[in-house]
Chains A and B, each alone.
Chain A
């Protein structure tokens, strides 16, 4: 179905993407539509650490850290 789907995977999943028939993002994204990237299992936290962090998957570990307003600039700015 998606013959060149490897293109859609992030480089961090190299060597692993062969098993997924589903692309990381849809092949034809449309502007003004929201998409959820397909999760790729790269590696797991040690399980005691996972329990403390609230996720087994490092890609999903996004702790909320309060920042000051002036720190919130986009890295490209």
Chain B
């Protein structure tokens, strides 16, 4: 597995965990442990996304990294071209 795919998979896993805790906290607002874990995953996620975008280009439009010259939004692979 390429390093790019490994990083992408890590982002997916961390983002999913953050989202799960996000939803859980909607009904458990006083769960300190869940809040702590949510914050850990959220900050880890933003670091991973930043790392990914620096190395491999943007994940989202108006995302975490500025547009490059030349416009690297057009670079492959597109999401449906990914091979996991």
Contact A47 B31 (CB under 8 A): no
Contact A56 B17 (CB under 8 A): yes
How many positions in chain B have a CB within 8 Å of any CB in the partner chain?
18
Interface string of A7-42 (1 = CB under 8 A from B): 000000000000111000000000000000011010
For B75, the chain A residues whose CB sits under 8 A away are none
For A38, the chain B residues whose CB sits under 8 A away are 27
Contact A20 B17 (CB under 8 A): no
Contact A57 B30 (CB under 8 A): no
Contact B27 A47 (CB under 8 A): no
Residues on A facing B (Cβ under 8 Å): 19-21, 38-39, 41, 44, 47-48, 50-51, 55-57
